[in-house]
Homo-oligomer: A and B are copies of this chain.
């Protein structure tokens, strides 16, 4: 029944019965950074963590600010972006549970983080966490793997930004978003239909991600509807009608 790519959260959680209550209830105990820690070590780390909530739209941290906290995303979606001095903006990544946010080993962030939906995170003070990381190889290893995944996806998006047409970009975004949302929902123990999801980004947010304008994004949606590749209800609820065709548009090779 379980999707092979998804950590079977419910089952694993039961092994953590002696965790601190906050960790026991944590949505990402079994798949996030902490999954590498046993109850004792986690107890230790728990001393420096704090749960924080952000409403959709709120800023989590800022480019120029010194990093005070790192965080693990427990629920919701976080947007990472950069801006040019004249205000032009580019989204450089989306964070889903159980992603880590912040720049390890540096005292300055190199991007803005804001809450795309309502977000719950578990925060760690920077200095303490860096020390902790250096003395806990298993934790550092896990974080390294999360970082490698982020690098992979950043490079994937570079190909998209540099070489895809507007239509292809939108197709690629829809597929990527649907997959990640699907995984995140299964993680929460929710039912999830892969081809049917709520697009949580506004057209403006999508255009910041794809390096396009709002109008161009909107036109591509219309084209995809016309071609019967997707259907849209209320401008926010997407139905993927022809995934193979979208895959081809998005350049997902199928030999």
Partner-B contacts on A (CB < 8 A):
80, 82, 84-86, 88-90, 92-93, 103-106, 110-111, 134, 137, 140-141, 143-145, 147-148, 150-152, 154-159, 161-164, 210-211, 251, 253
Contacts and interface: CB of A to CB of B under 8 A. Distances in A.
Copies in the complex: 2
24 contacts: A82-B155, A82-B158, A85-B251, A85-B253, A89-B163, A90-B159, A90-B162, A90-B163, A92-B158, A105-B145, A105-B148, A110-B155, A110-B156, A137-B140, A140-B144, A147-B151, A150-B151, A154-B154, A154-B155, A154-B158, A157-B158, A158-B161, A161-B162, A162-B211
A19 to B, nearest CB: 25
Contact of A82 (B141, B145, B159): B159
A49 to B, nearest CB: 21
Contact of A84 (B93, B145, B148, B163): B163
Contacts of A90: 158-159, 162-163
A141 B147 CA distance: 12
A158 B158 contact: yes
A85 B249 CA distance: 10
